[in-house]
Amino acid sequence: MCGIVGYVGAEQAAPILLDGLSRLEYRGYDSAGVAIYSQGKVRVAKAKGRLQVLSDMIQGGRAIQGTIGIGHTRWATHGAPSDVNSHPHVSHSGNIAVVHNGIIENYAELKSFLQSKGVPFVSETDSEVVAQLVEYFYQGDLLEAVGRVLHRIQGAYALGILCCDQPDQLIAVRKDSPLILGLAEGANFLASDVTAILRHTRDVIYMEDGEVAVLTSQGVQCYNSLLQPITKEVSQVDWEVDAAEKGGYEHFMFKEIMEQPQALRRAVFPRIQDGEVYLEDFALTDEDIRGLSKVYVVACGSSYHVGMVGKYHLERLLRKPVEVALASEFRYMEPIVDEHTLVIVISQSGETLDTMAALREAKRLGAKVLAIVNVVGSSIAREADEVLYTWAGPEIAVATTKAYTTQLAVLNLLGLYMARRLGTVADEEYTQVLEQMLLLPAQMEEVLEKQSQIQYLASQYFNHESIFFMGRNVDYTLGLEGSLKLKEISYIHSEAYAAGELKHGTISLIEDGTLVVAVGTYGPLFDKALSNVVEVKSRGASVLALTTQSQGERMAEVANDLVTIPDTHPLLLPSLGVVPLQLFAYYVALHRGCDIDKPRNLAKSVTVE
Q: Which residues contact ligand G6P by CB under 6 A?
A: 300-303, 347-349, 352, 355, 398-400, 602, 604-606
CA angle 287, 320, 577 (to 5 degrees): 115
Question: In angstroms, what is the minimal distance from the CB of 587 to ligand G6P?
Answer: 19
Q: For residues 18 and 398, which CB has a smaller minimum distance to ligand G6P in the complex? A: 398
Q: For residues 258 and 510, which CB has a smaller minimum distance to ligand G6P in the complex? A: 258
Question: In angstroms, what is the minimal distance from the CB of 399 to ligand G6P?
Answer: 6
41 catalytic, yes or no?
Answer: no
Give the other-Cβ count within 10 Å of 171's Cβ.
26
Question: In angstroms, what is the minimal distance from the CB of 345 to ligand G6P?
Answer: 8
The set of residues, in sequence order, having a beta carbon less than 8 Å from that of 248 and lying 6+ positions away, is none
Question: In angstroms, what is the minimal distance from the CB of 110 to ligand G6P?
Answer: 30
- Tell me if 310 sits within 8 A of 414, measured CB to CB: no
CA 262 to chain centre: 19
Q: For residues 344 and 399, which CB has a smaller minimum distance to ligand G6P in the complex? A: 399
Q: For residues 184 and 243, which CB has a smaller minimum distance to ligand G6P in the complex? A: 243
CA angle 419, 262, 394 (to 5 degrees): 95
Q: For residues 373 and 533, which CB has a smaller minimum distance to ligand G6P in the complex? A: 373
Alpha-carbon distance 204 to 198, whole Å?
10
The set of residues, in sequence order, having a beta carbon less than 8 Å from that of 332 and lying 6+ positions away, is none
**What residue number has its CB nearest to ligand G6P?**
301
Q: For residues 311 and 604, which CB has a smaller minimum distance to ligand G6P in the complex? A: 604
Question: In angstroms, what is the minimal distance from the CB of 521 to ligand G6P?
Answer: 22
Identify any residues that bridge with 220 across adjacent strands, giving them in sequence order: 215
- Tell me if 541 sits within 8 A of 516, measured CB to CB: yes
Amino acid residing at 9: G
Of 562, 321, 604, the C-alpha closest to 453 is 562
Q: For residues 300 and 470, which CB has a smaller minimum distance to ligand G6P in the complex? A: 300
Q: Tell me the helix, strand and coil percentages in the chain, rounded to 5.
A: 40, 25, 35
The set of residues, in sequence order, having a beta carbon less than 8 Å from that of 98 and lying 6+ positions away, is 70, 87, 88, 89, 90, 127, 128, 130, 131, 134, 159, 160, 161, 162
Give the other-Cβ count within 10 Å of 464's Cβ.
18
- Tell me if 394 sits within 8 A of 359, measured CB to CB: no
Q: For residues 66 and 599, which CB has a smaller minimum distance to ligand G6P in the complex? A: 599
Question: Phi/psi class of residue 210: alpha, beta or left (left: φ > 0; alpha: ψ in -120 to 50)?
Answer: left
Q: For residues 272 and 326, which CB has a smaller minimum distance to ligand G6P in the complex? A: 326
Alpha-carbon distance 45 to 34, whole Å?
6
Question: In angstroms, what is the minimal distance from the CB of 589 to ligand G6P?
Answer: 14
Q: For residues 217 and 348, which CB has a smaller minimum distance to ligand G6P in the complex? A: 348
Of 117, 67, 69, the C-alpha closest to 97 is 69
Q: Please give the biggest Cα pair distance in the chain.
A: 79
Q: What is the SS3 assignment for 238?
A: coil
Give the other-Cβ count within 10 Å of 376's Cβ.
18
Question: In angstroms, what is the minimal distance from the CB of 300 to ligand G6P?
Answer: 4
- Do you find a cis peptide bond into 88, omega within 30 degrees of 0? yes
175 catalytic, yes or no?
Answer: no
- Write out the H or E segment, with its range, that includes residue 451: helix 451-461
Question: In angstroms, what is the minimal distance from the CB of 210 to ligand G6P?
Answer: 23
The set of residues, in sequence order, having a beta carbon less than 8 Å from that of 30 and lying 6+ positions away, is 48, 49, 74, 75, 76, 81
* Catalytic-role residue among 46, 175, 255, 604: 604
In 501-548, which ranges are continuous DSSP H helix? 526-537
Q: For residues 337 and 356, which CB has a smaller minimum distance to ligand G6P in the complex? A: 356
Question: In angstroms, what is the minimal distance from the CB of 178 to ligand G6P?
Answer: 11
Of 111, 109, 135, the C-alpha closest to 123 is 111
CA angle 43, 48, 50 (to 5 degrees): 105
* Catalytic-role residue among 2, 163, 222, 594: 2
Question: In angstroms, what is the minimal distance from the CB of 295 to ligand G6P?
Answer: 19
Question: In angstroms, what is the minimal distance from the CB of 233 to ligand G6P?
Answer: 24
Active site residues per annotation: 2, 604
